[in-house]
Structure 1
Amino acid sequence: MNVSEQLLEILQNEGVKHIFGVAGDALNPLVDAIGKQDQIQWVGVNHEGNASYAAFAQGELNGNFGVCASTVGPGALHLINGMYNAKKERSPIIAITGQIPVEHLGTNYHQEADLKKIYDDVCDYQAIIRSPEEAPRVILRAIRIAVNNKCVCRIELPSDIAKMKAENRDYVHTVFRSESTIIPSKKELNKAAKLINDTKKIGILAGAGCRDAKAEVVDLSIRLSAPITHTLRASDIFDHTIENVVGLTGLIGNPSGYKAVMDCDLLLMLGTDFPYTNFLPSNTKTIQIDIRPENIGNRTPVTLGLHGDIKTTVSALHSLCTEKEEDTFLVKLKEKFTDWKRSNDDKANPARDMEPLHPHIFAKATSDIASKDAIFAIDTGTAAIWASNFMNFHSDRRIIGSFNHGSMAVGLPAAIGAQLQFPDREVWALVGDGAFNMSLQDFSTAVKNNLPVKIIVFNNSQLGFVKIEMEEAGLAPNFDALRVDNFNFAEYAKLCGGDGIKVEHAKDIIAAIQTAKNSTKPFIIDAVVTNAELSLPPKIGFEEAKGFGISKIKEVLRAFNGEKEQWENIKKEIEAYFD
């Protein structure tokens, strides 16, 4: 057994099923070892960046850790964006990177890169193997840190050591995984209960840290008559059918979710490091509960911080809090949320047959047709707006994406990772055309592995979210910079061996989505949609109004000066709004 085979044996013991990567020199001994067994599949991709996104998806979804791999310097550098995404989403992954032979390190050798220095910011730990004797110790340490801290770790395997005889085989053992719970002291819990019992209007802002505590949070909200606002990552925890949920806050949020946070007298922040301080109250009493104490007070001043896991801490609080009879605050917000949902249903009605089409219709129809346990990979940009506002992630549905890192091109590779992990579940990716163009080379990977992923490409020939950002900043859009030149994505799907359909008419949307659902091949819906759809935050402050106002004035002036695209954009926005 060589060091590569020992590494593979450890990964097998820990339940790893897939390694995503691109083969090459330093990795060849590992790839050779994979070929001699059938427990772990080597999933060859066309770009290492897609490998790390696929590994992120598995780390996020499977209760274990994802694994990606690359050869020396250049390939290892391609991994880094997906690894940053995993870091920001707190999804445990292990990256295996090759390295040049040890004897050449530090000599500016061919393809040499100081990977330790490069990866210092993204990795919590780097297992840099410099001898067969230390290999099992540092490999196991990397896995132990990744799974218990929910973080990114890297294993560096030089090409010469990869082929050496394995040592210390008797040291290999099952990785320790903590199942401990953390609960604040009785004194702190009593302080929190007093604040809660002395306050009438309470709001809850719940994040992804509540994933294992859904029932406890909902029970507490019912006891306190407290509306629940959720973060984007928690959309599949506190879906639109859950009692007392009033929606999302932030730039892509809704009015009732925003008001529940901003208009309460006491805010309970549960399992969230919500970063948008403009959407957090500055003078409201706040109790923040988090498993990571460094998050407490990170975004807004807190009246009381509680270090604990949400499930245990909220359960303990529940028994200390008195039931609140007054529910006017909650009732008004629930009514407002119901009105917002009804309005969105109207916006997403296929009877709105303006062409190019409204993107809302595709999102809502997908939500209505997809299975109850579907997995949705949501790309960054306007796709996230349409998904969060017009879809309902109820039952056992899951969403994954680049919600904290905000990187484009996560949708397709994350869908590949998810489908390999869960072959019996529907996996949908909702992506913009700009993001899809970055990653489409690995649609062929989905075909090669017979993965029936369903890809909806919002084809508006524009970087739509960047346009919104320019307008918010008071700039007239630069349409040359925003333009995305597309080919027929449905024909591309067929060329790769998959299937697809281009949809340009509203009457064809439902049938296309149903066809994608039933397809046994990777399937692309080329959804030709308008680039003039306006997306407004739940509350427009002076700065936002000023930015958009200045932007529109500039657009009008430039239109009068003969810039045809500015005038066409204004007309299309008016048409999209009133259709």
Structure 2
Amino acid sequence: MNVSEQLLKILEQEGVKHIFGVAGDALNPLVAAMANQSTIKWIKMKHEGNASYAAFAQGELGQNFGVCASTVGPGALHLVNGLYNAKKERSPVLAITGQIPVANIGTSYHQEVDLTKVFDDICEYQAVIRSAEEAPKIILRAIRIAINKKCVCRIELPADLAHAAAANQNFVQRVFRSDSEIHPSQEKLENAVQLIDGAKKVGILAGAGCRNAKEEVIAFSKLLNAPITHTVRASDIFDHSTENVVGLTGLIGNPSGYKGVMECDLLIMLGTDFPYGPYLPEKTKTIQIDIRPENIGNRTAVDLGIHADLKFVLQYLNEKCKLKKDDSWVNSLNKEFRSWVANNGEDASTKRDFKILHPQIMAKAISDQASDDTIFVIDTGTSAIWATNFMNFHAERRMIGSFNHGSMAVGLPAAIGAQLQYPEREIWALVGDGAFNMTLHDFSTAVEYGLPIKIIVLNNNELGFVKIEMEEAGLVPNYDALEVKNFDFAQYAKLVGGDGINVTNVKEVDNAVELAKRSDKPFIINAKVTGAELSLPPHISFGMAKNFAMSKIKEALSASKGDKKNWENIKNEIKAFIDKETAN
């Protein structure tokens, strides 16, 4: 047995089923060893960056860790973005990277990169193998840290050691996985009860840390008659139909969600490091409960911080806090939220006589037809706006993406990782055309492995979210930089062995979604949507309004001077607005 085979045996005993990567150089002994076993499958991606996104999906969705691999310097560098995404989403991922032979390290050898420096900010731990004797010890340590801290770790395997005889096999053991809880002091719990009992209007801001405490959060909300505002990452925990959920706050939030945070006299932050300061109250008393102590007080001043497992704390508070009988505020926000959801449903209905294909119509149609246990991968940008505002992640649905790192191009590769992990579930990815262009080469990987992923490309021939950012900053959109030149994505899907369909108007939407749902091949819906759809935050400050107005004035002046692209954008925005207002 060599070191590569030993590593593979360790991964096998820990339940790993897939390694996503590109073979070559230092990894060749590992890839060769995989041919002698049938438990772990090497998934040959077209690009290492996509491999790391696919591994992220498996670490995020399962009870285990995802694994990606690359060869020496240039290949290893491609892993960076997907691994940063895993770090920011707190998804356990193990990256295996090759390295030049030990004797040549530090000599500026061909393809040499100091990978320890490169990955220092990404990885919680790096198992840099420098002898066969230490290999099993530090490999197991890397896995142990990745699993128990929900983080990214890396194994560096030099080319000469990859096929060296294994040592210390007697040290190989099953990785320890902690099931311990963190409990706070009794004093902290009693202080929380006092603050809560003394408040009149309690608001809850719930994050992804509530995933294992959903029922306790709902019971807490009902006890206090407190509205639940949630973060984007918690959209599949507190869906639109959950009692007392009033939606999102932040740049892509809704009015009732914003009010649930800003109008309370006690804000309770549960399992969230919500980063948008302007959408947090400045003077309201705040309790923050988090498993990560570094998050407490990170975004706003906190009157009481509790470092503990959320479920345990909520069970205590549900038992000790007094019932708040006044439900007038939560009822008003519930009513406002239900009205907002209903209006959105009407605005995006395929039954209306729209003349223009609005992007939210596609999002709503997918939500209406997808299975109750669908996994949705939502790419960064306007895709996230339409998904969170017009889709409902109820029942056993899951939603993943790049919500903290904010990286484009997560959609397609993460869908591949998700479908391999859950072959029996529907996997839908909602992506913009800019993001899809970054990763489309691995659509053929989905074809090769027979993965019936469904990719909806919101094709508006521009970087839509960047345009919004420029307008909010008071700038004139530069369409020479924003324009995306696309080919026929549906024909491309068929060319590489999948299937696809072009959608240009609302009458084609339902049929296209049904075809994708039934397809046993990877499927692309190339939805040619308008890029003129406006999206406004739940609260518009004077500065935001001023910048947006200045941008529009500058666009009009530029158009009057002969800028055809700005003139077309203005006309399209007017047409899109009129279309929504007049459609039956």
Are the equivalent residues in 1 in contact too, given 2:142–2:155 (CA < 8 A)?
yes
Q: Distance in 1 between matches of 2:498 and 2:532?
A: 31
Summarize deviations over 1:285-317 as a string: whole Å, max 9, x none.
Answer: 000000000000000000100001111111111
Q: Secondary structure at the match of 2:212?
A: coil
Q: Structure 1 CA distance, aligned partners of 2:202 and 2:30?
A: 55
Residue 9 of structure 2: aligned partner: 9
Partner of 1:507: 507
The one-letter code matched in structure 1 to 2:416 is I
- In structure 2, the residue matched to 1:528 is 528
Instruction: Please show how residues 477-556 of structure 1 align to structure 2 within 5 Å.
Output: 477-556=477-556
Structure 1 position 355, deviation (Å)? 4.7
Q: Is the 8 A contact 2:457 2:526 kept in 1?
A: yes
Q: In the alignment, is the contact (CA less than 8 A) between 2:490 and 2:526 conserved in 1?
A: yes
Alignment-derived partner of residue 270 in structure 1 = 270
Question: What letter is aligned with 2:421?
Answer: Q
Q: How far, CA to CA, are the matches of 1:118 and 1:61 in structure 2? A: 27
Decide whether the 8 Å contact of 1:355 with 1:529 is kept in 2.
no
**1:59–1:65: 8 Å Cα contact kept in structure 2?**
yes
Unpaired stretches in structure 2, ≥5 consecutive residues: 580-584
- Equivalents in 1 of 2:506, 2:353: separation in Å? 5
Q: Superposition pairs for residues 283-298 of structure 1, below 5 Å?
A: 283-298=283-298
Counterpart of 1:569 in structure 2 is 569
Deviation at 1:320, TM superposition (A): 1.2
Alignment map for 1:365-404 (pairs within 5 Å): 365-404=365-404
Alpha-carbon distance in structure 1 between the residues aligned to 2:543 and 2:131:
58
Aligned partner of residue 492 in structure 1, secondary structure:
helix
TM-score by length of 2: 0.99
Partners in 1 of 2:560 and 2:578 — Cα distance? 23
Cα distance in 1 for residues equivalent to 2:349 and 2:374 = 22
* Shift, 1:418, TM fit: 0.1
Question: Which residue number in structure 1 is paired with residue 442 of structure 2?
Answer: 442
- What amino acid is the match of 1:111? Q
Distance in 2 between residues matched to 1:370 and 1:351, nearest whole Å? 18
What amino acid is the match of 1:213?
A: A
Give 3-state SS (helix, strand or coil) of 2:419's partner: helix
Deviation at 1:578, TM superposition (A): 2.5
Aligned to 1:250: 250
2:74 — aligned with what?
Answer: 74
Per the alignment, residue 339 of structure 1 pairs with: 339
After superposing on structure 2, the runs of 4+ consecutive aligned residues of structure 1 that deviate more than 2 Å are 351-356
Structure 2: distance between partners of 1:494 and 1:309:
49
Equivalents in 2 of 1:352, 1:73: separation in Å? 54
1:204-255 residue CA offsets vs partner (Å, 9 max, x unmatched) = 0000000000000000000000000010000000000100000011100000
Residues 249 and 279 of structure 1 are in contact (CA less than 8 Å); yes or no, is this contact kept in structure 2? yes
Supply the distance in 2 between the matched residues of 1:482 and 1:214 (Cα, whole angstroms): 41
Q: CA offsets, 1:72-97, max 9 Å, x none?
A: 00000000000000000000000000
**8 Å contact 1:34–1:40 — kept in the other structure?**
yes
Q: Which residue type is aligned with residue 157 of structure 1?
A: L
Deviations 1:80-127 (A, max 9, x none): 000000000000000000000000000000000000001000000000
Q: In structure 2, give the amino acid aligned to 1:450.
A: G
Partner of 1:28: 28
**In 2, are the aligned partners of 1:21 and 1:42 still within 8 Å (CA)?**
yes
1:434-453 per-position Cα deviation (integer Å, ceiling 9, x unaligned): 00000000000000000000
Which amino acid in the other structure matches residue 207 of structure 2?
G
8 A contact 1:291–1:308 mirrored in 2 = yes
- Conserved in 2, the CA contact under 8 Å of 1:355 and 1:504? no
How many Å apart are 1:471 and its aligned residue? 0.1
CA contact (8 A) 1:249 1:257 kept: yes
**2:259 paired residue number:** 259
* Paired residue secondary structure (2:20): strand
Q: SS of 1:357's equivalent?
A: coil
With 356-365 and 118-127 compared, the bigger mean Cα shift is at 356-365
In 2: Cα distance, 1:194 partner to 1:530 partner? 52
Distance across 2 between alignment mates of 1:34 and 1:327: 61
SS at match of 2:69: strand
- The one-letter code sitting in structure 2 at the alignment partner of 1:112 is E
CA distance in 2, matches of 1:251, 1:331: 24
Helix, strand or coil: the match of 2:507?
A: helix
Give, in whole Å, the separation in 2 of the partners of 1:278 and 1:135.
48
Equivalent residue for 1:147? 147
Contact kept? 1:250, 1:537, Cα under 8 Å: yes
Contact 2:127–2:138 (8 Å) recurs in 1: yes
Q: Distance in 2 between matches of 1:51 and 1:343?
A: 40
3-state SS, counterpart of residue 67 of structure 1: strand
Aligned 8 A contact 2:201 2:264 in 1:
yes
Give the structure 2 partner of residue 215 of structure 1. 215
1:412 to partner: Cα distance: 0.2
- Residue by residue, what CA displacement relative to the aligned partner does 1:152-183 show, whole Å, maximum 9, x if unpaired? 00000001000000000000001001001112
Conservation of the 8 A alpha-carbon contact between 1:97 and 1:155: yes
1:87 paired residue number: 87
Instruction: Tell me, yes or no, if the aligned pair for 2:356 and 2:506 is still in contact at 8 Å.
Output: no
What does 1:45-56 correspond to in 2, within 5 Å? 45-56=45-56
Q: Secondary structure at the match of 1:140?
A: helix
The amino acid of 2:252's aligned partner reads I
Whole-Å Cα distance in 2 between the matches of residues 280 and 352 of structure 1?
37
The one-letter amino acid of 2:463's match is L
562-571 vs 363-372, which deviates more?
562-571
- How far, CA to CA, are the matches of 2:42 and 2:566 in structure 1? 49
Which residue number in structure 2 is paired with residue 60 of structure 1? Answer: 60
- Kindly provide the CA deviation profile for residues 426-471 of structure 1, in whole angstroms up to 9, marking residues without a partner as x: 0000000000000000000000000000000000000000000000
Q: Output the CA distance in 1 between the equivalents of 2:236 and 2:377.
A: 12
* CA distance in 2 between partners of 1:243 and 1:207 (Å): 16
Instruction: Give, in whole Å, the separation in 2 of the partners of 1:294 and 1:429.
Output: 33
Does the CA-based 8 Å contact 2:126-2:154 persist in structure 1?
yes
Secondary structure at the counterpart of residue 394 of structure 2:
coil
- Tell me how far 1:352 sits from its aligned partner: 4.3
Residues 20-52 of structure 1 deviation map (CA, whole Å, 9 limit, x = unaligned): 000001000000111111000000000000000
Residue 329 of structure 2 aligns with an amino acid whose one-letter code is F
Contact 1:374 1:396 (8 Å CA) reproduced: yes
1:505-542: CA deviation from partner (whole Å, max 9, x where unpaired)? 21110010011000000000000000000000000001
Look up the match of 1:558.
558
Which residue is equivalent to 2:233? 233
Which one-letter code corresponds to 2:50 in the other structure?
Answer: N
Unaligned runs of 5+ in 1: none
Contact persistence 1:356–1:528 (CA under 8 A): no
Identity %: 68
> Aligned residue pairs: how many?
579
Aligned to 2:582: none
Partner deviation per Cα, 1:125-159 (whole Å, 9 max, x = no partner): 00000000000000000000000000000000001
Name the residue aligned to 1:109.
Answer: 109
Which amino acid in structure 2 is aligned with residue 343 of structure 1? Answer: N
Shift of 1:19: 0.1
Q: What SS does structure 2 have at the residue aligned with 1:94? A: strand
1:310 & 1:402 partners in 2: Cα distance? 24
Q: Distance in 1 between matches of 2:379 and 2:81?
A: 14
CA deviation profile, 1:374-422 (whole Å, cap 9, x unmatched): 0000000000100000000000000010000000000000000000000
Which string of whole-angstrom CA distances, capped at 9 and with x for unpartnered residues, describes residues 310-368 of structure 1? 11111111111001100111011001101111110121022445454101111001000
SS in 2 for 1:160: helix
Match of 1:481, as an amino acid? Answer: A
Counterpart CA distance in 1 for 2:165 and 2:524 is 47
Q: Hey, what's the Cα distance between the residues in 2 that align with 1:131 and 1:432?
A: 46
The equivalent of 1:200 in structure 2 is 200
Letter in 1 for 2:549: G
Task: Give the AA of the match of 1:209.
Answer: G
**CA deviation vs aligned residue, 1:241-272 (integer Å, no higher than 9, x gap):** 10000001110000000000011000000000
State whether structure 2 residue 190 is matched by structure 1 residue 180.
no
CA displacement, residues 457-506 of structure 1 (integer Å, 9 cap, x when unaligned): 00000000000000000001101110000000000000010000000121
Q: Where does residue 433 of structure 2 map in the other structure?
A: 433
